[in-house]
Amino acid sequence: MVKTNLKEKKAASKAKLKVVDDSAIKTTAYSDINLKQWRNYEHIKTDTLWEFPSRLKEGGHSNEYHGNYIPQIAQQIYERFTKENDIVLDLFFGSGTSGIEAINMKRRCIGVELKDDLVETVSKKFTQKQLVTDVNIICADSASEDAKEKIQARLDVMGEKKAQLLMLHPPYDDIIKFSDRKEDLSNCATTEEFYNLFEKVAKNGYDLLEKGRFACLIIGDKYANSQHIPLGFECMARMNRLGFITKAIIIKDMQGNERAKGKTANLWRYRALAGGFYIFKHEYVMVFQKV
């Protein structure tokens, strides 16, 4: 089960914070960060190159599900763009990273997952109380009107009209097949179909996000037909078309998190040399705001 677990470095930084009265506090409308003591937040990244030597495995996290994003991204995004008790909406819930870190950081979460068997498995990571008060998992197609209605109903129960943060970590087109469902973005017949379906999901997220709040898109590119396919930038363009403005494009180093090593890595090196391309060592963490 998930336990509240504030990371040591973060706890050490926060221990330095000494607030005497209200005049010593200055925050934004979307964060608990005290800007009058900004030097004490050394654990929060403000640059556009993120390097993490390994995936965090404590605090209820595990790596049994191929394709989940690393918890450190949630930690960084949550602290920058949410307050305690805010609701995070994750429309590609997967193995539950967004929900686990919401519990750890005293936020709440609504997650939508297409596969019912995965919903059942991930639900076991939370206590029954947490599933009632803090983490709501919906089994639905995130692009559908049905999912949108169910999310709105959960928001109503949680006492909010809209979510305060949107997390999107879609499949990287057809690189990994996650199911046999036609609604699954990893099963799209073409990359254009992938973009169109992603935009439908992002539109639901846009409609359910509070004005002025932020969205985070985690995505990488792919190679196909001997060329680089810029999935990240086209998905960014689709989000801009919906009304999001782009606040940041962060490059996250994938080294230390990838599974392909040894002979497999050597094979890709050979292919790169023979095919005239470069091996991906990064993915994007794109930050948007609904204005």
**Hey, which bits of 97-202 come out as E strands?**
108-113, 135-139, 163-168
Helices marked H in 50-127: 71-81, 97-104, 116-123
How many beta carbons lie within 10 A of that of residue 102, not counting itself? 28
Give me the half-sphere count of Cα atoms (radius 13 Å) on the Cβ side of residue 224: 11
Cα diameter, the chain = 64
Q: Tell me: the pLDDT tens digits for 134-153?
A: 999 999 999 999 999 999 99
- Any bridge partners for residue 249, and if so which? 286
- The average pLDDT across 77-105 equals 97
What are the residue boundaries of the structural domains of the chain, listed by start? Answer: 69-290
For domain 69-290, the question of CATH label 1.10.246.90 is answered with no
- The average pLDDT across 18-38 equals 85
- E strand or H helix at 176, and its extent? none
Q: Is the predicted pLDDT of residue 261 greater than 80, yes or no?
A: no
pLDDT, residue 144, reads 98
